[in-house]
Structure 1
């Protein structure tokens, strides 16, 4: 098993890519903390993992709340005695608004979940990893963190910020046996679209121009395979990278 004796937290684990990552990590031997704002969904994932012989526990987490993040990490340590991997997967979309249509409340909400929440999660994780002497961070970012035509202004800016945060963290702790990498998925079949409200007609029309050249949509399980590689020792020489998983979309 590729993650035998490892302990991993996966945020946004109740559905989509987070669900696929949590399930694959458990299948490969990790003890998993399945974190999500949707506790019922996270518990269902944990039940499935246990039915298949895996080890997991669920916790309700609003990643925009620092106390919730701390409780999530505390549970991992109390339950399993250590933490090896954190997968920051939870995220929300905007409504494709270009900057001229951005609403302050939506901007603040998107950043609180997609950027500030990830930073605070990484801050807690890094201090645990420094004390332990090892640790791996995997940030599920988005093709929107690499390019400007995949979403609205708020989402795009929030994900670009996490790209920088990922690279900076990798550099800062490269000599401390802490690795930090990111995944930039293209269009993947998840329910993140349910977080999109008050859609911008202009923004959606412009964004659709890029969708036309997407070779195909991806499945959550395909992203989970990359998250497994980046979380495992197989990627021990990879640090500070954001790997696109988009069927060649970004090659156009």
Structure 2
């Protein structure tokens, strides 16, 4: 039985224009046309729309669109590769979260208040962390820290908060984590307001990763159903346009 644009739209609370836009973007297969020129869709179009909307929460609109466009153009291997990349990104985010938790658990205690109140220069800081000054300069270029400069000498000056961030960075780097992942964790730390404040952020981050993992599963299931339907011979008086 043919379906009208409004039939597809109503199922998902969309406008008929959105359905037409998805078809024009290649997210839906080309629609059939009645003798009077009206679009008519079929179950394959409905399945493609369900798959796309199920993929969006886990992969994002752009990637979900690319997956359906690949499917509709017959590039199944590309579609599967895009799915794999979405799962790989989630796995990397999980590793980054685990690294943040481990590093925070092993972060040394703060120095005594008198020492904590004093800024420090790159030489003494490198010695304290067991690093070379060149390493700290490399981390600065990678965006891990942005020390100020002494107005008189031009030397780098690190605040107590930056010293603590660099201790965390040293833990992460020792654990084999790259500069980009380390910078991401430090960014989250700054947004949260410090090591203790970041712990609820990490809990929320974990919840988002769990939701994203569930969304990836839902999207894959909907896409599997779509592919299964598309592999069947088209039947009925109104082909689905495949």
TM above 0.5, yes or no, is no
Structure with the larger strand share: 1
Alignment TM class, shorter chain as reference = under 0.3
Larger RCO (alpha carbons 8 Å, 6+ apart):
2
TM-score, length-scaled by structure 2? 0.22
TM superposition score normalised by structure 1: 0.21
Question: Which structure has the highest helix share of the two?
Answer: 2
Greater C-alpha radius of gyration: 2
